[in-house]
Structure 1
Amino acid sequence: MKTHRFHLSALALAFMLTPFAAAQAQALADGSQQHPLRVLLIPADGGTESGTKADYQPIFNAITSSTGLHFDLTVGQSYGAVVEGMCNQLAEVAFLGPVSYVQAHDRGCAQLLAVGVQKGQSSYYAAMFAPKESSVTSLKDLKGKRAAFGDVNSASSFTFQMASMINDGMNPAQDLAELHLTGSHASSLAALVQGQVDAAALSFDSFDKAVRQGAVDPQSVKVIFKSEPIPYPPLAMNTKLPEGLKKTLKEAFSTVHQAPGVTPDMVRGYGGAKLDRYDTAFSEEQFSGPASKMSLLTDEVKGEILAKAAQR
Structure 2
Amino acid sequence: MKRVLFSCLLLVASLGVQANEPRAADELVFGSVAMDIPAQMYQRLAPVTEYLSAAMDMPVSLRLSPNMPDAIKEVSEGRSDLAYLTPVAYVRARVRGEVEPLVKTVTDGEEAFRLMIVVAEDSPIRSVEDLAGKRFAFGDRAALLQRATVVGAGMALETLGEYHFLGHYDNIVRGVMTGDFDAGILKDTTAFRWQGEGIRILYESPLLPPYVIAARKGLDPVLTERLREALLAARPDDPVSGPAMRALDPSYDGFAPVTDAEYDVIRELIRPFDTPPAQAGR
Into which bin does the TM-score normalised by the smaller protein fall?
0.7 to 0.9
Distance 1:296 1:70, change over 3 A: same
Alpha-carbon separation, structure 1, partners of 2:41 and 2:141: 18
Equivalences for residues 67-146 of structure 1 within 5 A: 67-68=56-57, 69-72=59-62, 74=64, 76-118=65-107, 121-146=110-135
Aligned to 2:260: 284
Letter in 2 for 1:291: R
Instruction: Note the residue ranges of structure 1 that are not aligned, 5 or more in a row.
Output: 1-8, 32-36, 305-312
Give yes or no for contact 2:135–2:160 (8 Å, CA) kept in 1.
yes
Which among 188, 201, 215 is matched to residue 204 of structure 1? 188
Alpha-carbon separation, structure 1, partners of 2:236 and 2:120: 43
2:123 match: secondary structure: coil
How far did 1:38 drift? 3.3
Alpha-carbon separation, structure 1, partners of 2:149 and 2:247: 21
- The alignment status of 1:172 with 2:134, answered yes or no, reads no
Which among 34, 40, 43 is matched to residue 32 of structure 2? 40
Aligned to 1:190: 171
Distance 1:193 1:258, change over 3 A: closer
How far did 1:223 drift? 2.3
Give yes or no for contact 2:236–2:242 (8 Å, CA) kept in 1.
no
Instruction: Note the residue ranges of structure 2 that are not aligned, 5 or more in a row.
Output: 1-11
Equivalences for residues 129-278 of structure 1 within 5 A: 129-150=118-139, 154=143, 156-165=145-154, 170-173=155-158, 175-181=159-165, 184=167, 186=168, 189-194=170-175, 196-205=180-189, 207=190, 219-257=197-235, 261-262=239-240, 266-267=244-245, 272-275=250-253, 277-278=254-255
How far did 1:235 drift? 1.1
Distance 1:132 1:259, change over 3 A: closer
Distance 1:78 1:29, change over 3 A: farther
Give yes or no for contact 1:130–1:224 (8 Å, CA) kept in 2.
yes
TM (normalized to structure 2)? 0.72
How far did 1:73 drift? 5.9
Distance 1:259 1:246, change over 3 A: farther
Give yes or no for contact 1:130–1:198 (8 Å, CA) kept in 2.
yes
Letter in 2 for 1:248: R
Which among 21, 25, 31 is matched to residue 22 of structure 2? 25
Distance 1:107 1:73, change over 3 A: closer
Letter in 2 for 1:30: E
Give yes or no for contact 2:121–2:196 (8 Å, CA) kept in 1.
no
1:107 match: secondary structure: helix
Letter in 2 for 1:172: L
Alpha-carbon separation, structure 1, partners of 2:44 and 2:239: 19
How far did 1:144 drift? 1.1
Identity %: 16
TM (normalized to structure 1)? 0.66
Letter in 1 for 2:252: K
2:203 match: secondary structure: strand
Alpha-carbon separation, structure 1, partners of 2:112 and 2:247: 12
Could you say which structure has the larger radius of gyration? 2
Alpha-carbon separation, structure 2, partners of 1:40 and 1:62: 16
Alpha-carbon separation, structure 1, partners of 2:13 and 2:161: 35
Give yes or no for contact 1:192–1:198 (8 Å, CA) kept in 2.
no
Distance 1:49 1:239, change over 3 A: same
Alpha-carbon separation, structure 2, partners of 1:300 and 1:268: 41
Distance 1:203 1:29, change over 3 A: farther
1:136 match: secondary structure: coil
Give the root-mean-square deviation of aligned CA atoms: 4.1
Letter in 2 for 1:286: E
